[in-house]
Amino acid sequence: MTQHTPTPWTSRQNVIDGILQSHFLIEAPSKRLYVARVQSDTMNLDEARANADFILMACNSHDALVVACEGAYDALVDVLEDTENEAGEQVQNPLLQGIRAAIALATKGEVT
């Protein structure tokens, strides 16, 4: 599978011919290319900035959060007891289920 552009990414308001534009660029560490262009549907600059900040927060923290979730799962799997579902069947503890679901979501289902 092709890898994404390395992080950390940064953002800046785009400038064309000395004029600030109504969108933000998400840039690769090299600053030679941008990964994405972010603007709001309503051309609201504050919303575009907030969207760019959210993308940066999510992408730049992604790898660390996956590692933390995997570590938490490994530490808790032998500590937390299974529970019963509504049908009376033994199922994995809901906290562990949630951690596994978060890892799967963040890794396109590639849970280790």
pLDDT tens, the chain, 112 aa long = 688 899 999 999 988 998 888 889 999 998 788 999 998 777 788 989 999 999 999 999 999 999 999 999 999 999 998 888 889 888 889 999 999 999 999 998 766 5
Whether 18 is covered by a domain: the verdict is yes
Whether 4 is covered by a domain: the verdict is no
Return the pLDDT at 110: 64
Whether 29 is covered by a domain: the verdict is yes
Return the pLDDT at 20: 84
Whether 5 is covered by a domain: the verdict is no
d(CA 47, CA 45): 5
Secondary structure tally for the chain: helices H, strands E? 2, 5
Whether 3 is covered by a domain: the verdict is no
Return the pLDDT at 41: 73
Whether 112 is covered by a domain: the verdict is no
Whether 98 is covered by a domain: the verdict is yes
Residue 103 vs residues 36, 75, 80: alpha-carbon distances, Å = 24, 15, 18
Based on the structure, what is the number of domains in the chain?
1
d(CA 90, CA 77): 15
Q: Whole domain around residue 24: which residue ranges?
A: 10-106
